[in-house]
Chains A and B, each alone.
Chain A
Amino acid sequence: MRRMLVAGLASACLVAFAPAATAAEAQEVGQIKVASGEVHIERDGQRIAAAPGVKVNRSDSVVTGRDGSVGITFSDNSLLSAGPGSVLVIERYAFDTTTHAGYFDASLKKGTLAVVSGKIVKQSPGAMRVRTPSSIMGVRGTEFLVRVD
Chain B
Amino acid sequence: MLLVTAALAWAMVLSGQAPKDEVVLLPGADGHVGRLVVERDGQRHVLDRPYAASRAGATEVEQRDPAAVRASFGPVLAALPGRPASFLLYFEFGKDELTPASRAELERILDELRRRPVPDIAVIAHTDTVGDVADNDRLSAQRAERVKQYLIGIGIAASRIHTAGRGERELLVPTADNVDEPRNRRVEINVR
Contacts and interface: CB of A to CB of B under 8 A. Distances in A.
Contacts of B40: 134-136
B76 A81 contact: yes
Nearest to B76: A83
Contacts of B108: none
A69 interface: yes
Contacts of B79: 34, 36, 69-71, 81-83, 114
Given A139-B36, A141-B35, A142-B33, A73 B84 contact: yes
A125 B32 CA distance: 14
A100 B161 CA distance: 22
A122 to B, nearest CB: 10
Contacts of B155: none
Contacts, number: 144
A88 to B, nearest CB: 10
A146 interface: yes
Interface string A98-140: 0000000000001011101100000001000000111111111
A79 interface: yes
Interface string B15-57: 0001111111111110011111111110000010000001010
Contacts of A149: 19-21
A33 B81 contact: yes
A145 B36 contact: no
Contacts of A63: none
Chain A interface residue bracket vs B: 35 or more
A144 B19 contact: no
Interface residues of B, number: 43
A96 B156 CA distance: 28
Counting chain B CB atoms within 10 Å of each CB, which of A31, A84, A143 scores highest? A143
Contacts of A145: 23-24, 26, 69, 73, 76-77
Contacts of B80: 34, 71, 79, 81, 114, 116
A137 B77 contact: no
Nearest to B120: A31
A8 interface: no
A33 B37 contact: no
A125 B192 CA distance: 22
B116 A144 contact: no
Contacts of A31: 118, 120
B78 interface: yes
Contacts of B25: 143-144
Given A116-B28, A147-B73, 8 more contacts: A52-B118, A72-B81, A135-B54, A136-B38, A137-B37, A137-B38, A142-B28, A143-B26
A-B pairs, top 4 by smallest CB distance, nearest first, are A83-B76, A141-B34, A142-B34, A33-B81
10 contacts: A69-B75, A83-B75, A114-B73, A114-B76, A134-B13, A137-B39, A138-B37, A139-B34, A145-B26, A148-B19
